[in-house]
Amino acid sequence: MLTEPDLVAKAVQGKREAVESLLAHLRPQIVRYCRARLGPISGGYTTADDVAQEVCVAILGALPRFRDQGVPFSAFVFGIAARKVADAHRAATRGFPLSIVDNVPERADARPGPEQLAVASDLARHLHSLLGELTENQRDIIVLRVAVGLPAEEVGKVLGMSAAAVRVAQSRALHRLRTIASSLVDEMAS
């Protein structure tokens, strides 16, 4: 069985099968990353999935230029993904200026999606709004740790931090999320 570095090496050389297996391996991670970062838009993940597709295409295009020069492959992949997500954020805020609303717009897109889909996207939105309470760094860490499933060491490489710093930051992020929960309940009880 090939290890990821072997697969990456062969893919960089343009071996078709290796490129295909590499993408098959990366794609679910990239989709989860984009969905986690962008959240459901207009009631679904169409936008996030489109961005994930763009990320895959961009990775394919950049792959021949990837040389293992101490830059870990995950940093290469999620660096591209982070830039594409940032582009999408900018495009979205240009097209739809953020307005002050006291809850998330519920209006679905033109296609009447099945009820289950609405429920599903609804659920993801809760976490997305909770993540909005974290610092950018904490949010990146939670997305890479939970949504993508990278170990703390890999997350450190992607974000340019030590694994120890990632562990402290992730504990702070979880602490923050738990604090928000308890303050909400206090608020409700008062």
Partner 1 sequence: MNEQLTPFEPDEATLARDDALLDALGRGGTTPGDDPLALALSLWREELSPTAVPKRAKAKRRKLTWGLIAAALAASLGAGATVAAASNARPDSPLWPITQRIFTEHASIASADAAKVKMADARAAVTEQRPAEAQRLVKEAETLIANVTSLLERDALIAELERVKTLLATILGAGGVPVPQPGATPAPGTAPQPSPGGGSGPGQAPTPSPSPSGPGGILPPLPLPTISLPIHLPPLPTLLP
Residue (12 or 26) nearer to partner 1, CB: 26
Q: For partner 1, what does the binding mask look like between residues 28 and 57, x meaning CB under 8 A?
A: x--xx--xx------------x--x-----
Q: How many binding residues for partner 1 (CB under 8 A)? A: 60
Contact present, 77 and 4 (Cβ < 8 Å): no
List the interface residues with partner 1, window 121-150 (CB under 8 A).
Answer: 122-127, 129-130, 132-133, 135, 142, 145-150
Q: Is the dihedral of CA 148, 153, 158, 164 positive or negative?
A: positive
Distance of CA 173 to the CA centre of its chain: 16
24 binds partner 1 (CB under 8 A): no
Long-range contacts, stretch 79-88, CB < 8 angstroms, 24+ apart: 79/158, 80/55, 81/30, 81/33, 81/34, 81/55, 82/37, 82/140, 84/34, 84/51, 84/54, 84/55, 84/58, 85/33, 85/34, 85/37, 85/38, 85/51, 88/38, 88/47, 88/51
Q: In the set 1, 24, 98, 188, which binds partner 1 (CB under 8 A)?
A: 188
- Tell whether residue 115 is a contact of partner 1 (CB under 8 A): yes
Closest distance to partner 1 from the beta carbon of 75 (Å): 17
- Region of 1-9, 11-19, 25-33, 83-91 interacting with partner 1 (CB under 8 A): 25-33
Placement of tokens 């679904």 in the chain: 44
Q: Does 162 bind partner 1 (CB under 8 A)?
A: no
Amino acid identity, position 85: V
Residues that bind partner 1 (CB under 8 A): 27-28, 31-32, 35-36, 49, 52, 102-104, 106, 108, 112, 114-120, 122-127, 129-130, 132-133, 135, 142, 145-152, 167-168, 170-172, 174-178, 180-182, 184-189
